[in-house]
Amino acid sequence: MAPVPLSAISGRRSLTFPWPPLLLLLLPATIFPALTFASPCRTSCGNIPIKYPFGVDDGCGAPQFRRMFNCSTDLFFLTPSGSYKVQSIDYDKQSMVIYDPAMSTCSILQPHRDFAMADLQSVIIPPAPDTVFALLNCSIDSPILNHYKYLCFNFSGHSCDELYGACNAFRVFHLLTNSSPPCCFTGYDTMKFMSMNILDCSHYTTVLNTENLKGVGPLDWIYGMKLSFSVADLGCDRCSKSGGTCGFDTETEGLLCLCSVSSNYTRDCVGGNFTGGGYNRAPAALIGAFIFILLSIAQLTLNS
């Protein structure tokens, strides 16, 4: 927290008298109380709402998620292995469903494909525990059939034979060998530590909402991936309550509250309500005094 306001203050190091910038800071708010501010941050992409901590424009949202999205007509989630179409985002449950158009599913067999995330992504937005990876057409030398057998689990009583038998796409594995090549139901951690090449399986598919799939056939599973994201509490509530949009400085990645075209603040929009009718000067004066004290302290610290 501390580095943000400090860096803002140290920018004024050369000033001996802190009043002029302070007045400049408060002037627009005083003169244009009904100023409306068009945020530089898009609030949707296609039919997906974009809210904190995400952003599709640089400088918007939380810096941790920077460059993870691409909004070209539709919203895409970008990882080192490709771009994945975002199907939905549940901001309350902090989950996001993505779909890899190049992944094999019960109805379509596609060429070999790997799934990989950046280290940071594995920490802040990993696949949820109720997303299961089905590794298909594994060679008998695959580590998950030998040393790492324990990484495969019994997925609601479903078997490889069932998958190879029920899905047109996977029947080909069965036909070619006249037996079922091994497969494995596993979690994301297995993929994280071993690439598809090491796993020695030619295909994978992913299934989400797996808690409720006992007795449900592979034709009725939902293919795709649910990611669960975490949001660090960086004080965005305070910024949005004051009418701002949470973002960050694109050079330092220090947090910003985007308040108007001409002013970005570190915590909230000083004086608060730019769009409302009855603008109240009292809070502005109080906050102004607070900033003055902060600046004075900084001045003393820098001079000593």
Ligand X SMILES: *[C@@H]1O[C@H](CO)[C@@H](O)[C@H](O)[C@H]1NC(C)=O
Give the interface with ligand X as residue ranges (CB under 6 A): 40, 59, 70, 72, 76, 78, 83, 137, 139, 154, 157, 172-173, 202, 241, 243, 247, 249-250, 256, 258, 262, 264, 272-273, 276-278
- Residue 27 CB, shortest distance to ligand X, in Å, is 14
The letter for the amino acid at 235 is G
Secondary structure element (H or E) that encloses residue 301, with its range: helix 281-303
The letter for the amino acid at 223 is Y
Please state, in angstroms and rounded to a whole number, the distance separating the CA atoms of residues 291 and 18: 10
Please state, in angstroms and rounded to a whole number, the distance separating the CA atoms of residues 45 and 83: 15
Q: What secondary structure does DSSP assign to 25-48, as a single string?
A: HHHHHHH-TT-----SS-SEETTE
- Residue 41 CB, shortest distance to ligand X, in Å, is 8
Structure tokens at 207: 């299934």
C-beta closer to ligand X: residue 59 or 126: 59
Please state, in angstroms and rounded to a whole number, the distance separating the CA atoms of residues 55 and 44: 9
> Cβ-closest residue to ligand X?
276
- Residue 293 CB, shortest distance to ligand X, in Å, is 24
Please state, in angstroms and rounded to a whole number, the distance separating the CA atoms of residues 94 and 156: 25
- Residue 241 CB, shortest distance to ligand X, in Å, is 6
- Residue 72 CB, shortest distance to ligand X, in Å, is 4
- Residue 270 CB, shortest distance to ligand X, in Å, is 13
Q: Could you tell me if 98 and 77 are in contact, meaning their C-beta atoms sit under 8 angstroms apart?
A: yes
DSSP structure class, residue 176? H
C-beta closer to ligand X: residue 177 or 296: 177
- Residue 243 CB, shortest distance to ligand X, in Å, is 5
Closest CA to 204 of 102, 61, 103, 79: 103
Side-chain-facing half-sphere of 277: CA atoms under 13 Å: 0
C-beta closer to ligand X: residue 227 or 257: 257
C-beta closer to ligand X: residue 207 or 258: 258
C-beta closer to ligand X: residue 197 or 303: 197
- Residue 90 CB, shortest distance to ligand X, in Å, is 23
Within 160-239, strands assigned E span 184-186, 201-208, 222-223, 225-228
What percent of the chain is helix, strand and coil (3-state, nearest 5)? Answer: 30, 25, 45
C-beta closer to ligand X: residue 24 or 297: 24
C-beta closer to ligand X: residue 24 or 293: 24
C-beta closer to ligand X: residue 65 or 173: 173
The letter for the amino acid at 234 is L
